[in-house]
Structure 1
Amino acid sequence: MSKTPYQKPSQQTQEEAGKIARAHQRPAQTKEQTKLIAQGIQEGIEHYKKQQKAKARELDKKRKKLVREKQQTIEPDDQEMETIIVYQQHWLPWTLLILTWLVGGFYLYMGS
């Protein structure tokens, strides 16, 4: 048994197959022969659609796999970047501290 039960072809597919079969009908061809040709065309269309769906599924799987791999490679890099960050202090507080000590020292020196 197959995985999925047989599905009736869509009305659109049946109409397309009928149009194609009538467009290529031979002068001495009977309606039964045309109907059989239309069924063959319809099966071909269904087979093509199945192939396209399978290709789309495979491409989607590959795309998802690449996205997962890309996320896995990005995450460790972010952690490394966090450990590498060096904070630089601004020069103004240190300058003011040194200046305050110098002014205080100069005041004590001049006051004694």
Structure 2
Amino acid sequence: MKQPISIETQQHALMIAKSTQKEGQTKEQTKLIASGIEKGIAEYKKQQKAKARQSDKARKQQAKHKQHAQHDEPELELEFDDSNQITPVVWGLICLLALSWLCFAWYIWG
């Protein structure tokens, strides 16, 4: 559906057409120029509205994405192995600790 051009836009277009009117130009020619300017202004406004809608949609989508990202942030969860196995690295550390205590005891009493 074609939207009617506002009276304000028509007046603005007519004012522009009159300000650029050439010598010997008839009223009909000026009105034709004014109608072309009206269409240009209407098209410009339509494009600006579309850009505004698009940017608003992108802004809302970005806010929604940011909100989901904050909600979906995983909490720190430490996973422990339920099996009671002592790995070779742990055995090595236990041996080093025991050896250091034995050396310390030998130093103190020796």
TM-score, with structure 1 as normaliser: 0.65
The reply on whether 1:74 has 2:88 as its aligned counterpart is: no
Alignment of 1:90-105 (within 5 A): none
The reply on whether 1:9 has 2:5 as its aligned counterpart is: yes
1:32 maps to what in 2?
28
Amino acid at match of 1:38: A
1:54 maps to what in 2?
50
Amino acid at match of 1:76: D
Distance in 1 between residues matched to 2:72 and 2:59, nearest whole Å: 21
Amino acid at match of 2:68: Q
What is the count of residue pairs matched by the alignment?
78
* Structure 1 residue ranges without an equivalent (≥5): 85-112
Distance in 2 between residues matched to 1:44 and 1:19, nearest whole Å: 14
Distance in 2 between residues matched to 1:29 and 1:7, nearest whole Å: 30
Where has structure 1 moved over 4 Å in runs of 4 or more? none
Please tell me the root mean square deviation across aligned C-alpha atoms, in Å. 1.5
How many angstroms does 1:76 deviate by? 2.2
